[in-house]
């Protein structure tokens, strides 16, 4: 396990006070790479239970799909070598091949077999003429130039050949992958166990749902967006509620989180000058870097590991009980999970996100999501950015990455266009609801003119 200092030293020009987004991704990828990961724990699941999971081994096809050459159409099967350019062909009907019931005879030259879609191609026949292309009854005539040899025949193994890897370790088990696996006759698959991610919100001004509003206080929204984002990724979520700015409570929350989870996501308390204990506690209990990232929104962030061993001196029950009793945890959201069983020192990767609700979502998408996918053993990559024409001019300072909430639509001429949702404030969560993607204005990019192309990260399929 490399320390934060060791990883930092590997990055050229590492400046925690002005880190580029690219460096954040690079840092996190090195951090995950050098951590004790849960990826070795696997489970065998029935297909219906495996949707969205990460495959822990290749799925090798035990059969060829399709298992035989078969017809792609309802029509007449014949030996295509008899076709002559510019000439019609007349064939005598000698039998019928049904799907699931092969025709056992042998057709001689000049003969054909009526065949249904999916039926095995009779011996020696390699071409199917669809039934609507022919005339006749006892014998059928194919007009010149309608059909080529091999038409409308599906070949044995054209989908998958026996012994080949149908799906690879690290792939996400999508609806298409489910179907493909079923087509091989495979009932169970080996997948990585779910990644366990604990999260809590911090801040004395943060109210849990159910609490009465009071002046200066806001309802906690970050736990809900983080819950949704994690659930969409197929993580096991451990909701630790809202934690007040008190050292004992924060310490207990980090203890609880580090013991159970592979990763911890907090929100709030990482900005400069914040009058809170979150940063101090991260420092006490872990190996953590505090950054200012050259981005907007989402400038402050803390990243590192919470080291469970640092708790060795604390009597766990007392701390956790005092925390449970006094924190504003919402009990129905709490998932009870087994204590994690990784060998070696227990630690959890920490993502200390800023407090502002839009900044939480943006930093999650830009940094946390790729890092969690890597932790899950997934080889999935972030979907490619789309190009769309900006409907308006956007002011942008070079030297930082900006994520603006955008609405992508089709312009009357058919090209993609994007306009920004109104107020781009980092606390304006309604902008995330209206948007269907994030306009990514890259580090070195300057002002955008109306009609210029910009990159967009679409939400669909991601959140």
| Backbone dihedral angles phi then psi of residue 83, each to the nearest 5 degrees | -70, 135
Q: Which helix (H) or strand (E) holds 65?
A: none
Residue 268 or 286: which CB sits closer to Mg ion? 268
Query: Which residues inside 300-359 make contact with ligand AMP, applying CB under 6 A?
Result: 354-357
Check binding of 269 to Mg ion (CB under 5 A): yes
**CA 133 remoteness from chain centre:** 46
Check binding of 61 to ligand AMP (CB under 6 A): no
Q: Please, which residues have CB within 8 angstroms of residue 108's CB and are 6 or more apart in sequence?
A: 94
Q: Which residue is nearest to ligand AMP (CB)?
A: 355
Check binding of 201 to ligand AMP (CB under 6 A): yes
Check binding of 203 to Mg ion (CB under 5 A): yes
Alpha-carbon span 360 to 353, nearest angstrom: 6
Residue 16 or 427: which CB sits closer to ligand AMP? 427
Q: Which residue is nearest to Mg ion (CB)?
A: 203
Residue 21 or 293: which CB sits closer to Mg ion? 293
- The encoded tokens of residue 389 equal 């024409």
Q: How many residues of this chain bind ligand AMP (CB under 6 A)?
A: 18
Closest CA to 170 of 194, 195, 191, 188: 191
Q: How far is the CB of 19 from Mg ion (least distance, A)?
A: 21
Binding residue for Mg ion, selected from 122, 157, 170, 268, defined by CB under 5 A = 268
Q: How many residues does the chain have?
A: 463
Alpha-carbon span 364 to 263, nearest angstrom: 13
221's contact among ligand AMP, Mg ion, none, with CB below 5 to 8 A by partner kind, is ligand AMP
Beta bridge partners of 9: none
Query: Which residues inside 243-262 make contact with Mg ion, applying CB under 5 A?
Result: none
Alpha-carbon span 277 to 344, nearest angstrom: 29
Strand spans (E) along 66-133: 70-71, 75-78, 89-97, 111-115, 127-130
Closest CA to 144 of 205, 189, 82, 197: 82
Query: Which residues inside 402-441 make contact with ligand AMP, applying CB under 6 A?
Result: 427
C-alpha count within 13 angstroms, C-beta hemisphere, residue 48: 0
Residue 66 or 427: which CB sits closer to ligand AMP? 427
Residue 357 or 437: which CB sits closer to ligand AMP? 357
Beta bridge partners of 120: 70
Check binding of 354 to Mg ion (CB under 5 A): no
Check binding of 108 to ligand AMP (CB under 6 A): no
Alpha-carbon span 305 to 348, nearest angstrom: 5
Check binding of 297 to Mg ion (CB under 5 A): no
Q: Which helix (H) or strand (E) holds 348?
A: strand 347-353
- The encoded tokens of residue 135 equal 């005339």
Whole-angstrom CA distances from 340 to 198, 344, 428 are: 12, 11, 37
- Among the listed ranges 6-14, 51-59, 198-206, 381-389, the one in contact with ligand AMP (CB under 6 A) is 198-206
DSSP assignment of 200-219 equals EEE-TTEEPTTSPP-TT-EE
Alpha-carbon span 178 to 186, nearest angstrom: 10
Alpha-carbon span 446 to 430, nearest angstrom: 26
Check binding of 211 to ligand AMP (CB under 6 A): no
- Among the listed ranges 3-11, 81-89, 352-360, 397-405, the one in contact with Mg ion (CB under 5 A) is 352-360
Q: How far is the CB of 355 from Mg ion (least distance, A)?
A: 5
Whether the CB-CB separation of 287 and 307 falls below 8 Å is answered with yes
Check binding of 298 to ligand AMP (CB under 6 A): no
Check binding of 220 to ligand AMP (CB under 6 A): yes
Q: How far is the CB of 291 from ligand AMP (least distance, A)?
A: 13
Query: Which residues inside 262-291 make contact with ligand AMP, applying CB under 6 A?
Result: 267-269, 271, 274
Residue 170 or 203: which CB sits closer to ligand AMP? 203
- The encoded tokens of residue 453 equal 């192309």
Residue 137 or 210: which CB sits closer to ligand AMP? 210
Check binding of 221 to ligand AMP (CB under 6 A): yes
Residue 54 or 429: which CB sits closer to Mg ion? 429
Binding residue for ligand AMP, selected from 24, 77, 206, 388, defined by CB under 6 A = 206
Rule CB under 6 A: which residues touch ligand AMP? 201, 203, 205-206, 218, 220-222, 267-269, 271, 274, 354-357, 427
Rule CB under 5 A: which residues touch Mg ion? 203, 268-269, 355
């Amino acid at each position: 396990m490399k320390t934060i200092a060791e990883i930092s030293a590997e990055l050229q020009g590492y400046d925690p006070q002005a880190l580029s987004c690219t460096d954040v991704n690079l840092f996190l990828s090195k951090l995950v790479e050098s951590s004790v990961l849960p990826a070795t724990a696997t489970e065998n699941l029935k297909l219906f239970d495996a949707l969205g999971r990460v495959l822990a081994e290749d799925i090798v096809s035990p059969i060829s799909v399709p298992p035989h050459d078969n017809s792609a159409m309802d029509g007449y099967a014949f030996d295509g070598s008899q076709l002559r350019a510019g000439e019609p062909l007349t064939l005598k009907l000698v039998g019928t091949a049904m799907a699931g019931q092969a025709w056992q005879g042998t057709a001689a030259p000049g003969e054909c077999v009526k065949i249904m879609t999916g039926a095995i191609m009779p011996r020696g026949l390699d071409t199917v003429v669809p039934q609507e292309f022919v005339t006749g009854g006892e014998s059928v005539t194919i007009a010149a130039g309608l059909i080529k040899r091999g038409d409308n025949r599906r070949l044995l193994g054209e989908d998958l050949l026996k012994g080949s890897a149908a799906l690879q370790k690290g792939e996400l088990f999508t609806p298409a992958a489910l179907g493909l696996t079923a087509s091989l006759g495979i009932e169970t698959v080996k997948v990585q166990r779910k990644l366990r991610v604990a999260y809590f919100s911090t801040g004395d001004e943060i109210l849990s749902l159910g609490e009465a509003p009071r002046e200066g206080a806001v309802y906690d929204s970050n736990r809900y967006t983080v819950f949704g984002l994690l659930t969409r990724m197929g993580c096991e979520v451990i909701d630790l509620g809202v934690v007040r700015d008190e050292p004992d409570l924060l310490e207990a929350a980090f203890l609880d989180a580090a013991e159970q989870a592979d990763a911890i996501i907090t929100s709030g308390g990482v900005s400069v000058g914040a009058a809170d204990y979150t940063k101090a506690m991260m420092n006490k209990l872990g190996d953590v870097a505090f950054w200012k990232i050259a981005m907007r929104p989402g400038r402050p962030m803390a990243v590192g590991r919470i080291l469970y061993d640092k708790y060795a001196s604390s009597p766990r029950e007392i701390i956790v009980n005092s925390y449970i009793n006094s924190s504003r945890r919402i009990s129905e959201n709490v998932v009870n999970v087994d204590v994690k069983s990784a060998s070696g020192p227990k630690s959890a990767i920490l993502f200390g996100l800023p407090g502002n609700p839009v900044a939480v979502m943006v930093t999650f998408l830009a940094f946390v999501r790729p890092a969690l996918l890597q932790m899950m053993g997934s080889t999935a990559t972030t979907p490619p950015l789309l190009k769309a024409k900006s409907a308006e001019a956007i002011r942008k300072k070079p030297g930082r990455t900006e994520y603006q909430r955008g609405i992508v639509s089709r312009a009357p001429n058919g090209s993609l266009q994007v306009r920004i949702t109104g107020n781009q404030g980092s606390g304006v969560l309604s902008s995330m609801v209206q948007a269907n993607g994030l306009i990514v204005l890259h580090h070195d990019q300057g002002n955008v003119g109306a009609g210029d192309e910009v990159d967009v990260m679409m939400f669909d399929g991601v959140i």
